[in-house]
Amino acid sequence: MTRPRIADAARVLAEGQSLLVTTHIRPDGDAIGSALALSHGLRGLGKMATIVLEHAVPRPYRFLPGWRDIVPPLPVSEAGRFDVAVVLDCDGLQRAGEVTGLVRAVGRIVEIDHHPGAHGDGCVIAVYPEAAATAELVFELCEALGAPLTVELATCLLTGLTDDTGGFRHSNTTARAHELASRLVAAGADPARIAENLFGNQPPARLVLRGRALARARLLLDGRVILSYLTNKDFAVTGADRADSSYVIDDLRLAADIQVAAVLVETENGQCRVSLRSSSDLDVAAVARSLGGGGHVKAAGCELPGTVAQAEPPLVAALAGALGADGRHGG
Ligand SMILES: [Mn+2]
């Protein structure tokens, strides 16, 4: 089965000889894997494909075949080199960051994505939210184009699929995703090597940072909230990256019988970034909004002024209010 818009995309790509491929800023495994897979597919058909990204390829994806060929933003004056621009995994062209101007200058734009919501104004907009990953759509696109399913292409696609499904554990893990994975492994992709690169290979400093946060995690509000924090000192002592703090919220939400996980992280400009995750029907976006932030029902955040010691009381008060004075909420 080829989805109708993917067939449309294949027709536009088939007409192009030199293609620009891009994806969103701060790319994840689906973004990088999809972009590389498509470029392998296009090159297999004798076309030229250039992947342009604002940000450098993050370390976990530097095992993917072809990652070194990804180039930083080209001047808009280079747009004439390309017949078609393909924008992957972006809900809106502006998600391509500094590459957006070049994409618009190419003019003939194909968008392929699985995020719901508003998109750009490409001549083909192939958005299928039911797809587990953009990689699933790129697989179909490569098939429609008749690109040979090489080990390189299969490795990049399985990486995208594995990353976006959290290792085939998230709710977007469908029968179709497993079917696709089966075909990719049969084509030579190595799932163990991919998983090791995506989920293993952690910088030791990150683990030490996560350990500090886990060691001081507390249960609050009758055990309905698990909360922890990281101070500026924690980053100084461990030498961990600021971005490493993002793992802590996922560590905390592994706790059974909680309704909300909360992490406060001090920033370099005297604020605290708060991350909230709901494991119940509690809407953490509403909690975040009451504190000047926002987000999704199950995942939200805000910034509060001051140190952890100063920011924690208003956060706990907001959570207490949302959970209700009767001591019960959701399940
Ligand atoms: Mn994705």
Could you report the per-residue pLDDT of 28-56, keeping only the tens digit for each? 999 999 999 999 999 999 999 999 999 99
Q: Is 263 left (phi over 0), alpha (psi -120 to 50) or beta?
A: beta
| Alpha carbon of 28 to ligand 1 centroid (Å) | 8
The domain limits of the chain are: 4-199, 204-323
The confidence score (pLDDT) of residue 329 equals 46
Consecutive H or E run containing 262: strand 260-266
Give the confidence band of 331 by pLDDT, cuts at 50, 70, 90: very low
Round to the nearest angstrom and report the end-to-end CA distance of the chain: 40
What is the chain's length? Answer: 331
| Alpha carbon of 183 to ligand 1 centroid (Å) | 20
Consecutive H or E run containing 237: helix 232-238
| pLDDT > 60? residue 259 | yes
Cβ atoms of 265 and 240 within 8 Å: the answer is no
The confidence score (pLDDT) of residue 295 equals 86
| Alpha carbon of 173 to ligand 1 centroid (Å) | 12
Cβ atoms of 298 and 267 within 8 Å: the answer is no
Cα(102)–Cα(111) distance, rounded to whole angstroms?
14
| Alpha carbon of 315 to ligand 1 centroid (Å) | 31
What are the residues whose beta carbon lies below 5 Å from ligand 1 (ion)?
30, 89, 134, 164
Cβ atoms of 313 and 319 within 8 Å: the answer is no
Cβ atoms of 221 and 316 within 8 Å: the answer is yes
Cα(135)–Cα(88) distance, rounded to whole angstroms?
9
What DSSP string runs through 69-94?
G-BPPPPGGGGGG-SEEEEES-SSGG
**CA–CA distance from 130 to each of 15, 82, 176 (Å)?**
28, 31, 10
| Alpha carbon of 4 to ligand 1 centroid (Å) | 20
| Alpha carbon of 166 to ligand 1 centroid (Å) | 11
| Nearest C-alpha neighbor of 201 from the set 193, 190, 211, 210 | 193
pLDDT, one tens digit per residue, over 171-198 is 899 999 999 999 999 999 999 999 999 9
| pLDDT > 50? residue 206 | yes
pLDDT, one tens digit per residue, over 213-246 is 999 999 999 999 999 999 999 999 999 999 999 9
| Alpha carbon of 160 to ligand 1 centroid (Å) | 7
Torsion sign across C-alpha atoms 219, 277, 248, 302:
negative
| Alpha carbon of 266 to ligand 1 centroid (Å) | 29
Cα(288)–Cα(293) distance, rounded to whole angstroms?
5
| Alpha carbon of 317 to ligand 1 centroid (Å) | 35
Just give the CATH number of 4-199.
3.90.1640.10
| Alpha carbon of 217 to ligand 1 centroid (Å) | 31
| pLDDT > 80? residue 119 | yes
Could you tell me the fold of the domain covering 204-323? Diaminopimelate Epimerase; Chain A, domain 1 (3.10.310)
| Alpha carbon of 232 to ligand 1 centroid (Å) | 32
pLDDT, one tens digit per residue, over 133-173 is 999 999 999 999 999 999 999 999 999 999 999 999 988 99
| Alpha carbon of 227 to ligand 1 centroid (Å) | 29
Give the confidence band of 326 by pLDDT, cuts at 50, 70, 90: very low
Could you tell me whether strands 218-220 and 225-230 are parallel, antiparallel, or unpaired per DSSP bridges? antiparallel
- Is 31 in a helix, a strand, or coil? helix
| Alpha carbon of 132 to ligand 1 centroid (Å) | 8
| Alpha carbon of 164 to ligand 1 centroid (Å) | 6
Cβ atoms of 167 and 195 within 8 Å: the answer is yes
